[in-house]
Structure 1
Amino acid sequence: MSFKIAIIGAGSVGFTKKLFTDILCVPEFKDIEFALTDVSEHNLQMIKAILDRIVEANRLPTRVTATTDRRKALEGARYVISCVRVGGLEAYADDIRIPLKYGIDQCVGDTICAGGILYGQRNIPVVLDFCKDIREVAETNVKFLNYANPMAMNTWAAIEYGKVDTVGLCHGVQHGAEQIAEVLGAKSTQELDYVCSGINHQTWFIDLRLNGRPIGKDELVAAFEAHPVYSRQEKLRIDVLKRFGVYSTESNGHLSEYLPWYRKRPDEITRWIDMSDWIHGETGGYLRYSTETRNWFETEYPQFLEAASKPIDREKRSNEHASRILEALETNRVYRGHFNVKNNGVITNLPQDAIIESPGFVDRFGINMAAGITLPEACAATCIASINVQRMSVHAAISGDIDLLKLAVLHDPLVGAVSTPEEVWQMVDEMVVAQAAWLPQYAHAVPAARERLSTSQVKTREWAGAARRSVRSIEELRAEKAALKQAG
């Protein structure tokens, strides 16, 4: 087989390498072309060198090109994969820093909440630019695989306004299934069958079977509470399981910021989170982790390049969906996964226009979703609250309507639990002014927002959050890794 895959945002070096090696685990794909594109020439050259080394070490005919000219990379592509982070860590820092001034404590801030909504405002205009180029220069039946957050908003915009065949992909379902299999004593996830459905980062295991035996709420709660690690790291998630009756795919930290109950009082936050790793609820945890990862990669790049000389181990193919979707579409080897698509009746009690995440099967005929799923009422209610925010956010990003943007932020569950309307209006003004370089659709609104900020009487505070850790130096990271290696 010979076809072209374009990867936008290929400068996300570690993730691009994972996708690349996964795809090359499919024997039929050795003759394909990977076209890498990114706004950073520096990152592009680093990832190209790594992928070239993999190709050379495995004696493959695979072609790898790299260019900052996005249209050139997209020319003739059959598949386009996006893993972009518009605004980089600079804009992301404001997604965390500014809401903290108004009492909004986020762990990640990339899906909804104040940070995720502004992240969407930066992404959506760029996603629509991608779609325009895809329509004009890629293969006629091109498929767009979006890995970039905010998943639902980006996918919604690409389908509804970009008019490109798009599927959103995430790994939360797989990670949740791994946890469940572990607490139930399964040897692997192969023993676990499940239906997991909802919206991205708020997906619910509504049917669980271990070797064919149904697993109920009480058994699952007991298994998690007995686990020596998860009982401590996933306290909030277990509490939601007890009250809702089903387990959420999303991590303790992520889930905490999508709900209005667990992060609204600073003195309560530490009760529900765990500081052993950022993902369990640390304030700005993913920003810290991303910053450390970037610094580590820049410093340790020669070691990453050397590791690329090892043969590809097909047994270590990851559980990311992308390579398996391509394999199913091209070879007709059927794959079952969980995909982000427009609802259109797949989930009966969620809005038809929403981007849902639910089970589907892939073969030569495309992605075929399992329809007629009904969520438990509490799960549907929680998802609908987020969907309403996502819909307004997408429409605001398309129109450049700053008043609609403020209403979207106001209706966010955690923001609404913490902030007053006056605070929300000022916070959005502040975020739009700070991120104006990445928000072209709001250029007309920036001068008035800046003027309002100069005369505002709304009080803010400088607050690091309830559970903030400092970014560790390279030396500290080296020492920690050495200690873990010695202990292991």
Structure 2
Amino acid sequence: MSFKIAIIGAGSVGFTKKLFTDILCVPEFKDIEFALTDVSEHNLAMIKAILDRIVEANNLPTRVTATTDRRKALEGARYIISCVRVGGLEAYADDIRIPLKYGIDQCVGDTICAGGILYGQRNIPVILDFCKDIREVADTNAKFLNYANPMAMNTWAAIEYGKVDTVGLCHGVQHGAEQIAEVLGAKSPRELDYVCSGINHQTWFIDLRLNGRKIDRDELIAAFEAHPVYSQQEKLRIDVLKRFGVYSTESNGHLSEYLPWYRKRPDEITRWIDMSDWIHGETGGYLRYSTETRNWFETEYPQFLEAASKPIDASRRSNEHASHILEALETNRVYRGHFNVRNDGVITNLPRDAIIESPGFVDRFGINMAAGITLPEACAATCMASINVQRMSVHAAISGDIDLLKLAVLHDPLVGAVSTPEEVWQMVDEMVVAQAQWLPQYAHAVPAAKERLSKSTVKTREWAGAARRSVRSIEELRAEKAALKQAV
């Protein structure tokens, strides 16, 4: 087979390498072309050198090109994969820092809550530019695979306004299933069958079967509470399981910021989180992790390049959906996964226009969703709160309506539990002004926002958050990795 895959945001070096090696685990895909594109020439050069080394080491005919000219990369591409972070870590730092001034403590802040909504405002205009290029220069039947957050908002914009065949992809379901299989004592995650449905990062394991045996709520609660690690790391997640009756896909820290109950007071935050790793609830945890990962990669790049000389091991192919979807579409080997698509009745008690995440099957005919799923009422209610925010956020990003943007932020569950309307109005003004270079649709609103900020009487505070950690130095990271290696 010979076709072209374009990767936008290929400067996300580690993730691009994973996608690349996964795809090359499919025997029929050795003779394809990867066209890499990114706004950073520096990152683009690094990832191309790594991928070229992999091709050379495995004696493959695979072609790798790299360019900052996005349209050139997209020309004739059959598949386009996006893993962009518009504004980079600079804008992301504001997504965490500014809401903290108003008492909003986020662990991740890239999917919903104040940070996720502003992230969507930066992403959506760019997503629509991608879609325009795809329509004009890519293969006639091109498929757009979006990995970038905020997943639902980006995918919603690409489908409704970009008019491109789009699917959103995430690995939260797989990771949640691996946890469940472990606590239930499975020898392999493959022993667990499940139906998981909802919206991205608020997806629910509504049916679980271990080797064909149905697992009920009480058994699952007991298994998690007995686990020596997860019983501490996933306290909030287990509490939601007890109250809702089903387990959520999302990590302890990420789930906490989608709900209005667990992060609204500093003392409550420390009660429910675990500081053993960023993902369990640390304030700004993902920002710290991302910053450390970038610094580590820049410093240790020669080691990453050397590691690329190893043979590709097909047995270590990851469970990221992309390679499996492409394999099913091109070879007709059927793949079952969980995909982000427009609802259109797949989940009976969520709106038709919402972007849902639910089971589907892929073959030559495309992605075929399993329809007729009804969520438990509490799960649907929680999803609905986020869907309403997502819809307003997408429409605000398209129209550049700053008042609608403020209403979207106001209706976010955690923001609404913490902040007053006056605080929300000022916070959004402050975030739009700080991120103006990435928000072209709000250029007309920036002068008035600056004027309001100059006259504001709303009080703020400089607050690091309830559970903040400093970014570790390279030396500290080296020492930690050495200690872990010695312990093993």
- Post-superposition CA distance 1:365-396 (Å, at most 9, x none): 00000000000000000000000000000000
State the shift of 1:13 in Å: 0.1
Instruction: Please give the alpha-carbon distance, in whole angstroms, between the structure 2 residues aligned to 1:139 and 1:482.
Output: 48
Instruction: Please give the alpha-carbon distance, in whole angstroms, between the structure 2 residues aligned to 1:266 and 1:230.
Output: 22
Partner residue in 2 for 1:313: 313
Q: Which runs of 5+ in 1 are unaligned?
A: none
State the shift of 1:179 in Å: 0.1
State the shift of 1:460 in Å: 0.1
Instruction: Please give the alpha-carbon distance, in whole angstroms, between the structure 2 residues aligned to 1:83 and 1:369.
Output: 24
Instruction: Please give the alpha-carbon distance, in whole angstroms, between the structure 2 residues aligned to 1:129 and 1:171.
Output: 26
State the shift of 1:24 in Å: 0.0
- Post-superposition CA distance 1:177-218 (Å, at most 9, x none): 000000000011110000000000000000000000000000
State the shift of 1:414 in Å: 0.0
Q: Where does structure 1 differ by over 3 angstroms across 4 or more consecutive aligned residues?
A: none
State the shift of 1:92 in Å: 0.1
Instruction: Please give the alpha-carbon distance, in whole angstroms, between the structure 1 residues aligned to 2:454 and 2:190.
Output: 59
**SS at the partner of 1:39?**
coil
Instruction: Please give the alpha-carbon distance, in whole angstroms, between the structure 2 residues aligned to 1:309 and 1:330.
Output: 28
State the shift of 1:362 in Å: 0.1
Asked if 1:153 corresponds to 2:177, the answer is no
Instruction: Please give the alpha-carbon distance, in whole angstroms, between the structure 2 residues aligned to 1:20 and 1:163.
Output: 27
Alignment of 1:152-171 (within 5 A): 152-171=152-171
Instruction: Please give the alpha-carbon distance, in whole angstroms, between the structure 2 residues aligned to 1:471 and 1:111.
Output: 22
Instruction: Please give the alpha-carbon distance, in whole angstroms, between the structure 2 residues aligned to 1:406 and 1:210.
Output: 45
Partner residue in 2 for 1:134: 134
Instruction: Please give the alpha-carbon distance, in whole angstroms, between the structure 2 residues aligned to 1:137 and 1:268.
Output: 52
**SS at the partner of 1:255?**
helix
- Post-superposition CA distance 1:39-88 (Å, at most 9, x none): 00000000000000000000000000000000000000000000000000
State the shift of 1:334 in Å: 0.1
**SS at the partner of 2:396?**
helix
Instruction: Please give the alpha-carbon distance, in whole angstroms, between the structure 2 residues aligned to 1:479 and 1:192.
Output: 37
State the shift of 1:36 in Å: 0.0
Instruction: Please give the alpha-carbon distance, in whole angstroms, between the structure 2 residues aligned to 1:2 and 1:20.
Output: 15
Instruction: Please give the alpha-carbon distance, in whole angstroms, between the structure 2 residues aligned to 1:435 and 1:454.
Output: 17
**SS at the partner of 1:35?**
strand
- Post-superposition CA distance 1:217-250 (Å, at most 9, x none): 0000000000000000000000000000000000
TM-score by length of 1: 1.00
Instruction: Please give the alpha-carbon distance, in whole angstroms, between the structure 2 residues aligned to 1:120 and 1:175.
Output: 24
- Post-superposition CA distance 1:269-317 (Å, at most 9, x none): 0000000000000000000000000000000000000000000000000
Partner residue in 1 for 2:107: 107
**SS at the partner of 1:203?**
strand
State the shift of 1:267 in Å: 1.1
State the shift of 1:342 in Å: 0.0
Instruction: Please give the alpha-carbon distance, in whole angstroms, between the structure 2 residues aligned to 1:210 and 1:76.
Output: 44
TM-score by length of 2: 1.00
Instruction: Please give the alpha-carbon distance, in whole angstroms, between the structure 2 residues aligned to 1:132 and 1:211.
Output: 47
State the shift of 1:475 in Å: 0.1
Alignment of 1:85-100 (within 5 A): 85-100=85-100
How much identity, in percent, do the aligned residues show? Answer: 95
State the shift of 1:446 in Å: 0.1
State the shift of 1:403 in Å: 0.0
Instruction: Please give the alpha-carbon distance, in whole angstroms, between the structure 1 residues aligned to 2:443 and 2:187.
Output: 55
- Post-superposition CA distance 1:304-349 (Å, at most 9, x none): 0000000000000000000000000000000000000000000000
State the shift of 1:268 in Å: 1.1
Q: How many residues align?
A: 488
- Post-superposition CA distance 1:99-127 (Å, at most 9, x none): 00000000000000000000000000000
Instruction: Please give the alpha-carbon distance, in whole angstroms, between the structure 1 residues aligned to 2:384 and 2:140.
Output: 35
